[in-house]
Structure 1
Amino acid sequence: MNKGLTAKGRATRQRIVVATALLTREKGAAETTLDDVRAATATSKSQLFHYFPEGRSDILTAVAEYEAGQVLDVQQPFLGDLSTWESWQKWRQAVLDHYIELGQRCPLGSLTTELGKSSAEARAILTTLFTEWEEALFLGVRTLTSAEPEAARIRARSILAAIQGGVVMLQATGVTDYLTAALMTSTDPLRPTAEGTD
């Protein structure tokens, strides 16, 4: 989407995307209007349509892409190498710290409950996010436990579902305990295997 834009144009477009992401976290995608975006970014209507020709749907798709990248980026470098129990613990703590800090303004909650429903393009971005995330967890489970592929896939999906459920409850209630319990419970079964190989 940035093809043909100058460096200044790319920076302006990114500024609009980031500001809109913050708006959707605060207000929800359904309640975020183009007027809200214009006010938050001090841009004109013509500027918005220059960078996002399809208007609101284009902006929300760009926000979904941005937020999906944020979800994975904050888990690095741990998500990229879950080969030891220590790396799993560091990854788990990074996830908890991130969502506890953001609370009800977390991008994952916004993605799954709001942005993922805004268009087919946004849904595809969300699907890609979960596929990449699941694959990283799957590889980590396989490396750490030598589990059979099917069992490792089920474990990876259960961890991912635990995070998602905990985040949705966090967004609804503002309480982080659900996420902490879900993440600990879904990953603790990996601990005995890890400790037994030390």
Structure 2
Amino acid sequence: MERALTPKGAATRQRIVEGAAQLIRVRGVPNVGLDDIRAATSTSKSQLFHYFPAGKADLMLAVARHEAGQVLEDQMPMLGDLTSWRKWQAWRRRVIKIYDGQRQRCPLSALTAQLGNADPATREIVTTLLDDWHGLLAAGVQALKDAGEVDASIDADKAATAVLTAVTGGAGMLQATDRISYLEVALSEAIDNLRRPRARVSAA
């Protein structure tokens, strides 16, 4: 459990985390050391280990939590207000723009690859992110159902899973191939599928 910090201490810690995140986005985890972070954030060695006693391991987890929060923050306010088709399309464009700009430098993916998803702390960060993301998407699908804009038989949770999988899968293929088209097509299809009428099964 993290110890309580004074407002000044919390601000200093956050400044270190944000500075480390900026370096990692540019250079990648393997090419960023504690000395680089200290120089970029004007932090002394004693300060760094005061806030991150285990050194780089602690700091990288803090950066991973920060970047996980940024994944959703970067999609706001669209992601939190998916109440119409126009807003769903605005969110889709926002997501594609974000990943098109990041390309192979998705900061959260770089961190989780370096830290390893087998680590319970890393897995918890990623799982919490995906659960929160899924919840916002499911709320958006439910809003469309409540407005009568999609078939009432659509399962909001399953639809949200399909959309989220399209984003994460498309982003993964983007990193592997540097082709944004995988994300564009997968996400567009997942959203368009919400609008397609469901087949009715008649009783025999």
Q: Same fold (TM over 0.5)?
A: yes
**What CA distance in whole angstroms lies between the structure 2 residues aligned with 1:169 and 1:156?**
20
Does the alignment pair 1:20 with 2:30?
no
Would the alpha carbon gap of residues 116 and 158 (structure 1) be closer, same or farther in structure 2, given more than 3 Å must change?
farther
Shift of 1:80: 1.3
Would the alpha carbon gap of residues 71 and 147 (structure 1) be closer, same or farther in structure 2, given more than 3 Å must change?
farther
Greater shift, 109-118 or 38-47, is seen at 109-118
The 5-angstrom pairing of residues 121-132 of structure 1 reads 121-132=121-132
Aligned to 2:5: 4
Shift of 1:52: 0.7
Greater shift, 25-34 or 15-24, is seen at 25-34
TM score, norm. by length of structure 2: 0.80
Shift of 1:24: 3.0
- Output the amino acid matched with 2:4: K
The question of whether the paired residues in 2 share the 8 Å contact of 1:61 and 1:119 is answered with no
Which contiguous aligned blocks of 4+ residues in structure 1 show a shift greater than 4 angstroms?
146-149
Aligned to 2:98: 98
Would the alpha carbon gap of residues 173 and 38 (structure 1) be closer, same or farther in structure 2, given more than 3 Å must change?
farther
The question of whether the paired residues in 2 share the 8 Å contact of 1:68 and 1:108 is answered with yes
Does the alignment pair 1:186 with 2:187?
no
Would the alpha carbon gap of residues 62 and 70 (structure 1) be closer, same or farther in structure 2, given more than 3 Å must change?
same
The question of whether the paired residues in 1 share the 8 Å contact of 2:166 and 2:183 is answered with yes
The question of whether the paired residues in 2 share the 8 Å contact of 1:111 and 1:126 is answered with no
Shift of 1:72: 0.6
RMSD: 2.4
Aligned to 2:79: 79
The 5-angstrom pairing of residues 106-145 of structure 1 reads 106-115=106-115, 117=117, 119-144=119-144, 145=150
Shift of 1:152: 2.5
Aligned length: 191
Q: Deviations over 1:74-122 (max 9, x none)?
A: 1111111212111111111111112212222223433553456384223
The question of whether the paired residues in 2 share the 8 Å contact of 1:57 and 1:119 is answered with no
Aligned to 2:66: 66
Q: Deviations over 1:43-66 (max 9, x none)?
A: 332221011112122111111110
Give identity over the alignment, percent.
48
In terms of Rg, which structure is larger? 2
- Output the amino acid matched with 2:14: Q
**What CA distance in whole angstroms lies between the structure 1 residues aligned with 2:92 and 2:3?**
34
Which structure ranks higher in relative contact order (CA pairs < 8 Å, sequence separation ≥ 6)?
1
The runs of 5 or more residues in structure 1 that have no matched partner are 194-198
- Output the amino acid matched with 2:91: W
